[in-house]
Amino acid sequence: MSYVVVPGIDGSDEAHWQSRWEAGWGAEAVRIAPGSWSAPDLEDWVAALGKAYEAVAGRGPVVLVAHSLGCWAVAEWLRRARPEDAAAFLVAPPDPHGPAFPAEAAPAFVPLRPAPLPCPALLVASADDPYCPPRKSADLATAWGARLRLVGSRGHLNTASGVGEWGEGRELLGEFVPPPSA
């Protein structure tokens, strides 16, 4: 199993659960590297995701592990690429039409509309995410054809939320796509 790590705006810092998981996965993981981390350009992010996917494709199933705006980049890339061996673990996608949606991402990402994803997907959301209320998370999960898992009041499920290694998330990922047997 391989992993493509898809952070949100500005990437994920070293204390973010994505960075911690990536470090633990070692050579089985690759992170996208768009040139527009701070002023997200959808085409740049989608191209970076495709490049990261190609770096691990052919080694077996690939799990796209996305956070925040990265969830939207994953959904768009999946719509275009339609890979046969992927699954999407989508954490805390923001509501592009919500009041907290980052203005710097609006031009490229607000026009996107959720549509059924061509692979298994799990959307994990918090009950008090300032970027997306639970009802909107449920709507996104339905539109993407993803299972929804609400994890209580954990904010945006990022470093500022204090989730650290986020063991609960690791368990959810393991339930969603169990690691291959040794």
pLDDT tens digits for 95-109? 999 999 999 999 999
3-class SS letters over 18-85: HHHHHHHHHHHEEECCCCCCCCCCHHHHHHHHHHHHHHHCCCCCEEEEEECHHHHHHHHHHHHHCCCC
Q: Is 104 helix (H, G, I), strand (E, B) or coil?
A: helix
Mean per-residue pLDDT over the chain, rounded = 95
38 vs 182, higher pLDDT: 38
Q: Does the structural domain 2-176 have CATH classification 3.30.70.100? A: no
pLDDT of residue 179: 66
pLDDT band at 118 (very low <50, low <70, confident <90, very high): very high
Q: How far apart are CA 179 and CA 1, in angstroms?
A: 7
**Cα maximum dimension of the chain:** 47
pLDDT tens digits for 153-176? 999 999 999 999 999 999 999 999
pLDDT of residue 178: 74
Inter-residue contact 101 to 95 (CB < 8 Å)? yes
Report strand pairing: 62-67 vs 29-31.
unpaired
- pLDDT exceeds 60 at position 51: yes
Query: Phi and psi (nearest 5°) for 149?
Result: -135, 110
pLDDT of residue 135: 96
Q: Quick check: pTM over 0.85?
A: yes
List CB contacts of 28: < 8 A, sequence separation 6 or more.
1, 2, 3, 56, 59
pLDDT band at 180 (very low <50, low <70, confident <90, very high): low
Q: Where are the domains of the chain?
A: 2-176
pLDDT tens digits for 2-25? 999 999 999 999 999 999 999 999
pLDDT band at 182 (very low <50, low <70, confident <90, very high): very low
pLDDT of residue 168: 96
Inter-residue contact 63 to 35 (CB < 8 Å)? no
